[in-house]
């Protein structure tokens, strides 16, 4: 069975984006639909990622030292993601969007999950972390997704994607450790059930969020549905493009690092370095 690479290092990158800048209302190339899709996702991050950290840390005690260190690095990364998405969401607010309804829905969804046993919270986190890792992979692999975004926002989303890929095995390994006493079949049954459940909620909630934001732009009814579905499933079709990687989760012997995509991190980091570091003067 695949495992997390021994030589993987999880490096929290303390970066800040878009501070002191005014973000366009439609920061995604003037496209309200693309903007609403990503704004809805961002609205879910601060509370969602705080929940992930809490769910994983509940099982930290007794984990092997390597995993324990990875949980620490994962925590630092997620806390910084929350900080940057709080700032991003504030810019969306300043641009005229009201995210209250979206945030209330997350709160409500998380309160239901939190009422379940800690192991269910860990399972939900493990599934959602797979979800974010495959979204992150697609975001970095296919430049089309962010090519119309303003530079600061694109850098924020790429940075987040890099770190999501880097720590994609942490919740999974914590889950494997926490359920080491269960049979493979029992583990599979739980994770398959939870994955179907959280995927349904994720798609429904983010779609609702996107529609709420579109309504604030005066796009409503069938037109809003059509535009949202087209964007999410057809062109650029983020959800369609992650379908194969989502299905892989159900295969026997699955592990997030069965697919080693650290090459994408390296590539995105060299683009970042080229964009922010002073270039040597031409000879
Ligand atoms: Fe994150
Ligand atoms: Fe994450």
* pLDDT value for 70: 98
* pLDDT value for 283: 45
For ligand 1, the distance from its centroid to the CA atom of residue 70, given in whole angstroms, is 14
**pLDDT tens, position by position, 53-64:** 999 999 999 999
Q: Which ligand ends up closest to the CA of 256? A: 2
- Mean pLDDT for the stretch of residues 264-282: 79
pLDDT band of residue 259 (cuts 50, 70, 90) is very high
Return the residue matching tokens 């959280």.
198
* pLDDT value for 266: 95
Is 150's pLDDT higher than 50? yes
Q: What is the mean pLDDT of the chain?
A: 96
For ligand 2, the distance from its centroid to the CA atom of residue 38, given in whole angstroms, is 16
Q: What percent of the chain has pLDDT over 70?
A: 98
- Mean pLDDT for the stretch of residues 145-172: 97
Contact 59, 53 (CB under 8 A): no
* pLDDT value for 1: 72
For ligand 2, the distance from its centroid to the CA atom of residue 219, given in whole angstroms, is 32
- Counting Cβ atoms within 10 Å, is residue 272 exposed (0-12), middle (13-18) or buried (19+)? middle
3-state secondary structure of 178: helix
Q: Which ligand ends up closest to the CA of 41? A: 1
Is 84's pLDDT higher than 50? yes
For ligand 1, the distance from its centroid to the CA atom of residue 140, given in whole angstroms, is 15
3-state secondary structure of 39: helix
* pLDDT value for 281: 56
**Residue 152 to residue 221: CA distance in whole angstroms:** 32
Cross-strand partners of 28: 149
Contact 105, 130 (CB under 8 A): no
* pLDDT value for 274: 83
Is 273's pLDDT higher than 90? no
Cis amide bond preceding 236, omega within 30 = yes
pLDDT band of residue 275 (cuts 50, 70, 90) is confident
Return the residue matching tokens 């991190």.
265
Is 71's pLDDT higher than 60? yes
3-state secondary structure of 223: helix
* pLDDT value for 96: 97
pLDDT band of residue 280 (cuts 50, 70, 90) is low
For ligand 1, the distance from its centroid to the CA atom of residue 38, given in whole angstroms, is 14
Residues 252, 257, 258, 261: what is their CA dihedral angle, to the nearest 10 degrees? 140
Of 11-25, 72-86, 119-133, 265-279, least confident by mean pLDDT is: 265-279
For ligand 2, the distance from its centroid to the CA atom of residue 164, given in whole angstroms, is 5
The tokens for 242 are 């992650």
Contact 65, 72 (CB under 8 A): no
Is 282's pLDDT higher than 60? no
Main-chain dihedrals φ then ψ at residue 149, nearest 5 degrees: -75, 155
pLDDT band of residue 277 (cuts 50, 70, 90) is low
3-state secondary structure of 137: helix
* pLDDT value for 60: 98
Is 92's pLDDT higher than 80? yes
The tokens for 62 are 């007794």
**pLDDT tens, position by position, 178-210:** 999 999 999 999 999 999 999 999 999 999 999
The structure's pTM equals 0.96
């Amino acid at each position: 069975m695949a495992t997390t690479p021994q030589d993987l290092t999880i490096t929290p990158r303390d970066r800040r984006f878009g501070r002191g800048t005014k973000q366009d209302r439609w920061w995604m190339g003037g496209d309200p639909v693309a903007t609403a899709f990503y704004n809805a996702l961002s609205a879910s991050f601060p509370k969602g990622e705080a929940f992930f950290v809490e769910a994983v840390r509940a099982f930290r005690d007794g984990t092997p030292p390597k995993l324990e260190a990875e949980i620490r690095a994962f925590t630092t990364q997620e806390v910084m993601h929350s900080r940057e998405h709080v700032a991003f969401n504030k810019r969306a607010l300043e641009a005229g969007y009201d995210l209250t309804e979206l945030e209330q829905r997350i709160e409500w969804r998380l309160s239901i999950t939190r009422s379940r046993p800690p192991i269910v919270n860990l399972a939900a986190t493990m599934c959602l972390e797979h979800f974010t890792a495959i979204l992150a992979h697609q975001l970095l692999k296919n430049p089309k997704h962010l090519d119309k975004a303003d530079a600061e926002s694109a850098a924020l989303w790429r940075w987040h994607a890099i770190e999501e890929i880097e720590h994609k095995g942490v919740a999974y390994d914590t889950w494997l450790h926490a359920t080491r006493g269960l049979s493979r079949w029992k583990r599979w049954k739980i994770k398959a059930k939870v994955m179907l459940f959280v995927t349904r909620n994720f798609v429904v909630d983010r779609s609702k969020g996107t529609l709420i934001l579109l309504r604030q732009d005066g796009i409503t009814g069938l037109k809003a549905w059509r535009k949202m579905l087209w964007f999410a499933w057809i062109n650029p079709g983020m959800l369609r493009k992650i379908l194969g990687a989502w299905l892989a989760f159900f295969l026997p012997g699955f592990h997030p690092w069965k697919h080693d995509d650290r090459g994408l991190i390296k590539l995105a980091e060299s683009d970042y370095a080229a964009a922010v570091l002073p270039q040597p003067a031409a000879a």
